[in-house]
Amino acid sequence: MKKQSRLHLPHPPARPGEAPDFSYVHLSPAGAVRRPDVNARARDLGFLATELVRVLDDSGTAVGPWHPHLDPTELQFGLRHMLLTRIFDDRMQRTQRAGKISFYIRSLGEEAVSVAQCMALRPGDMLFPSYRNQGLQIARGIALVDLMNQLLSNTHDMCKGRQLPVMYHSKAGNIFSISGNLATQFPQAVGWAMAAAIKGEDHLAASWIGEGSSAEADFHHALLFAAVYQAPVILNVVNNQWAISTFQGYAGGEQRSFAARGPGYGIAGIRVDGNDFLAVYAVTQWAAERARTGAGPTLIELVTYRAAAHSTSDDPARYRAKDDQEHWPLGDPIRRLKQHLVTLSEWSEERHESLSKELEALVAASWKEAVTFGTMTEGPRLDADLMFEDVFKDMPQSLERQRAAMRAERG
């Protein structure tokens, strides 16, 4: 047969009407992957980029060298904040459907990524999130009402009505402003970390990106600069398999893991079960210790699944198999941590149900408070004059004139 060049076109294993198939996801057994010394050289860590670090086995037991041995209270804190993230998401999704907010993005199935990683970092560490990291905000203790005010663009909106819903920030919480443009935060986090090193400070930076947007040049700039300057930064690729309708194969995931981009730049790359709270925590803690002890940056690929639509403007039934998240081999992060806590006799169905009710009430009360500061359609509204502020530190004459023109226009 004549050999000839060919164009390879990545295809997801299942489209609508086909049976879900996740056989392409390489899994290591729980507890099977070696935990190297935190000061190991990146060149000796290649195996971490192809294996999958897992701690929780199918029975909910924590096994192997990555077991972080967290106190039950810490595990319960994690469970609480993952559950709160999910309940918050669910309520905001319904709120969007009811026309109260213009747009929303859920993190269903990915809650362990943000919550466990946030817990493994210190409050002084700077976070550069993507748009599906609300768990970071929630685990860092940002008040739900503040998040809701942003979603509503109301009079208490931290962004003063300038940003699409979910593009939060928290100066006090050390959470950087979410851009809405993809991947731009990744090399910015590296710069922040470089500055920390220049100033001789102990803080590190962490950033999150989807596997889809790892295709952007910014991703490569981040890895390059992180490697060159050995910046104290943790770069996280949340591989949830889908970028809207685009399968991860189109970001280059078919040929090698995303974690394997790390060793290519001389950075430790580590692939972890993103739905395993304990594994995510342990890997992040390991990377943080590396960063803080001068061993340099780490690229973490969190293997997870986007169980919901990309956003409220998206309908995954048009491009992927129905109910495929039910077949996802790494399960659900909340269910798995809950099972683990039950195994430890530190949790029960009753406590879970009571916690759910408590958190639902918290979300409901927060919403009730948020709407008193205005909604898109009712109640107090931000002064439109605000649109001219913060373009520059001091308003130039040209913008003062335009503000006056706008006022005249409104009569």
Partner 1 sequence: MANMNMIQALNSAMDIMLGKDQSVVLMGEDIGYFGGVFRATEGLQRKYGEHRVLDTPIAEGGIVATAIGMGVNGLRPVAEIQFADYIYPGFDQIVSELARIRYRSAGAFFAPVTIRTPCGGGIRGGQTHSQSPEGIFTHVSGIKVIMPSNPHDAKGLLITAIEDDDPVVFFEPKRLYNGPFDGDPNKPAVPWSTHPKGQVNEGYYSIPLGKAEIVRGGAQVTVVTYGTMVFVALAAAAALGLDAEVIDLRSLVPLDVDTICTSVRKTGRCVVAHEATRFSGFGAEILSVVQEECFWDLEAPIQRVAGWDTPYPHAFEWEYFPGQARVKTALQAVMEGA
Is residue 235 involved in binding partner 1 (CB under 8 A)? no
Which stretch in 64-72, 169-177, 237-245, 373-381 sits in contact with partner 1 by CB under 8 A?
169-177
Strand order of the β-sheet with 233-239 is 126-128, 205-210, 233-239, 298-303, 268-273
Helix (H, G, I), strand (E, B) or coil at 81: helix
16/123 with CB nearer partner 1: 123
Per-residue b/e over 83-92, b at no fewer than 16 CB within 10 Å? bbbbbbbebb
Is residue 142 involved in binding partner 1 (CB under 8 A)? no
51/125 with CB nearer partner 1: 125
d(CA 274, CA 139): 17
Which stretch in 131-139, 159-167, 318-326, 328-336 sits in contact with partner 1 by CB under 8 A?
159-167
Going by C-beta distance under 8 Å and a sequence separation of 6 or more, which residues neighbour residue 21? 13, 14, 327
Chain positions 345 to 374 lying near partner 1, rule: CB under 8 A, are: none
Going by C-beta distance under 8 Å and a sequence separation of 6 or more, which residues neighbour residue 142? 168, 170, 173, 175
Is residue 176 involved in binding partner 1 (CB under 8 A)? yes
Q: How far is the CB of 189 from partner 1 (least distance, A)?
A: 6
83/205 with CB nearer partner 1: 205
Q: How far is the CB of 218 from partner 1 (least distance, A)?
A: 6
Is residue 390 involved in binding partner 1 (CB under 8 A)? yes
What residues pair up with 238 in beta bridges, in sequence order? 210, 302
Which stretch in 67-75, 129-137, 176-184, 306-314 sits in contact with partner 1 by CB under 8 A?
176-184
d(CA 132, CA 325): 17
Write down how long the chain is.
411
Q: How far is the CB of 63 from partner 1 (least distance, A)?
A: 38
What residues pair up with 242 in beta bridges, in sequence order? 247
Q: How far is the CB of 236 from partner 1 (least distance, A)?
A: 16
Which stretch in 36-44, 48-56, 359-367, 396-404 sits in contact with partner 1 by CB under 8 A?
396-404
- Judged by phi (left if over 0) then psi (alpha if -120 to 50, else beta), residue 129 lies in beta
Q: How far is the CB of 384 from partner 1 (least distance, A)?
A: 14
Q: How far is the CB of 356 from partner 1 (least distance, A)?
A: 33
Is residue 269 involved in binding partner 1 (CB under 8 A)? no
d(CA 18, CA 235): 35
In the block, residue with structure tokens 């709407």: 371
Q: How far is the CB of 386 from partner 1 (least distance, A)?
A: 8
150 burial type by CB count under 10 A (0-12 exposed, 13-18 middle, 19+ buried)? buried
Is residue 193 involved in binding partner 1 (CB under 8 A)? yes
Instruction: Name the site residues for partner 1 (rule: CB under 8 A).
Output: 126, 128, 158-160, 162-163, 167, 169-171, 176-177, 179, 181, 184, 186-196, 198-199, 205, 217-218, 221-222, 224-225, 228, 389-393, 396-398
